[in-house]
Each structure stands twice: as structure tokens, then as C-alpha cells.
Amino acid sequence: MSAFSTVLITGASSGIGATYADRFARRGDDLVLVARDQARLDVLASRLRDETGVAVDVLRADLTQPEGLEAVSARLRDDDRIGTLINNAGLAQSGPFVEQTPDSVARLITLNATAPTQLAAAIAPRLAKAGGGAIVNIGSVVGFAPEFGMSIYGATKAFVLFLSQGLALELGPKGVYVQAVLPAGTRTEIWERAGIDINTLPDLMEVGELVDAALVGFDHREAVTIPPLHVAERWDALDGARLALFGDLRQAQAADRYRAGA
């Protein structure tokens, strides 16, 4: 077994996180499961121990609170067995931007953007020094689809994608694999918690199918995995267009269309 024998998963009590826990346990990896719901964590941990024989630790933490975020960060910094971080904990928020409260916006940004950044920062130096390990960040296709109308949620997921790509460029040469996983609509509790009737959403992917696809991308060391994207070349074209646009910037001069009298 590798020295990195343990996977830490946030948002592990249900949905995508719980399914990741099941899949990694069946691969023989020990687990640290993080979420707010102690009872659910305990039930999941007991089942996985019984069914797979792996060691499962439970760490109850609210990642929207400084003390919870620091407790998980400390575990990532100090536990040399942890070689994979699954940044899965997240929150959705529906409704028009003008109707959202400052507190609800701040909470969403903290959980969806600040928490994965701080947790990645906690583990990355140790992984880079060791020359191995992985960081998986769960984003969303909404991150490049403002038309969906979930402005703050989408902005946080755009941040997750950018963060993942930047970390991949920086940490990849040091032996650390970074993957961004971008689901579309998936059948999880996140919709109900956001006040959205799941029955009004068409064509939702089942959680098991999503995670199994994401793990294929993980095993292939994809930088960006989009399980519902059937034409992979679409992503290649989008990323290629981004690089071409950046290559066409001439920062010393404004474009002609922006000049006075144009």
C-alpha cells in the first residue's frame, strides 16, 4: 500500500461525497469523512468499515465556520497518511441576486470558494514535498453558464475551475495531480436545500454514474472532467479559444474600436 493510504472527503454525509467514500473504500483506501451531520457520518462510517474493512475516521466540522475550517486544515497539514483531498462540500442558492441576503451570499462563498482554497492550501505543501497525491475539486458546468441565473453559485464554481487549473499548472510538475470535476444536474439533496423542487429539473444524472465517471477521469489523470459532456472536443475547442483570445491581447494599446472617434 502507498504511504498515502487515506482519502479525506468533505461533504461526505450524503450525495456525491458519500458515493466517493463508498468507491474509495472499495478500492481499499482508508477514509476521513467530513461533514456537519454527525449521525449520518457515523452510519456511513460503520457501514463502510463492515463492508470493506478499511479504517474510517469521522471529523464533524462546519466549513462555513472558522473553527471547523481550521480543524480540517490541521488534519490535512498534520496527517501524513492523507494523500487525496476531495473538495466536495458545497451549497446552492436559488432566486434573484437582488433578493439574496448578505449573510446567505457570504455563507455560500465561504463554503464553495474559501473552504476548498484553504483546504487545498493546507495539504498542497506536504504533497508537493512528497512528490505525489491528488486534489479533486467539485465544480459545476454552471460555472461557465451565467444564463442559468444562479449568479453567485455559478461565480463560485467558475472560481473552483480557475483554481483547479492554476493549481494543476503549479503543482503538476511537483507530482501532485489536480482534477476539476464539473457535474451538470445531479440527483442530490443540494436542490432541496436550495429551495428547488427536484421534480421540476429534467434529465438529472444519478450520483453513482457521476462519481464513477469522475473516477475514470481521475484514473486517466484528466485535468478537467465533465461527465455529462458527450463530445469531448467541445471542451477542447472552448479551451483552445480561450488560449487564442489570450494570445491576441496586446496590452500596450487599446483596440481600435475603443479609440476616440472610432
Residue 22: inside a domain:
yes
Say how many C-beta atoms besides its own lie within 10 A of residue 14's C-beta. Answer: 17
Query: What is the span of the domain harbouring residue 110?
Result: 6-237
Sequence-separated (6 or more) residues with CB below 8 Å from residue 228: 141, 183, 184, 205
Please indicate, yes or no, if residue 122 is contained in any of the structural domains: yes
Q: Is there a contact between 32 and 5 (Cβ–Cβ < 8 Å)?
A: no
Q: And the C-alpha cell for 180?
A: 476539476
**104-117 CB burial, b ≥16 within 10 A, e <16:** eeeebbbbbbbbbe
- Whether residue 261 is contained in a domain is answered as no
Segment 160-205, tens digit of pLDDT: 999 999 999 999 999 999 999 999 876 666 656 655 656 666 678 8
What integer is the mean pLDDT of 215-222? Answer: 98
pLDDT at 93: 80
Residue 96 pLDDT class (50, 70, 90 cuts): confident
6-22 pLDDT, tens digit per residue, is: 999 999 999 999 999 99
How many structural domains is the chain composed of?
Answer: 1
Q: Which DSSP letter does residue 138 get?
A: E
Cell numbers at residue 197, please? 423542487
Give domain status of residue 250, yes or no. no
Position 92 scores a pLDDT of 85
Does 40 fall in a domain?
yes
Question: Which cell goes with 92?
Answer: 446552492
Quick check: 22 and 100 in contact, CB under 8 A?
no
pLDDT band with cut points at 50, 70 and 90 for residue 1: very low
Percent of the chain with pLDDT over 70: 92
pLDDT of residue 4: 82
- CATH number of the domain bearing residue 224: 3.40.50.720
- The reply to whether 167 falls in a domain is yes
- Residues carrying an active site annotation: 153
| pLDDT at position 253 over 80 | yes
Tell me the per-residue pLDDT of 121-164, one tens digit each, with 9 for 90 and over.
999 999 999 999 999 999 999 899 888 778 999 999 999 999 99
262 domain-assigned: no
In a domain, 77, yes or no: yes
For residues 206 and 175, which has the higher predicted lDDT (pLDDT)? 175
Looking at 141-196, list the stretches that DSSP marks H as alpha helix, in order from N- to C-terminal side: 151-171, 190-193
Cell of 13: 454525509
Residues 22-38 have pLDDT tens digits of: 999 999 999 999 999 99
Mean pLDDT to the nearest integer, 206-232: 96
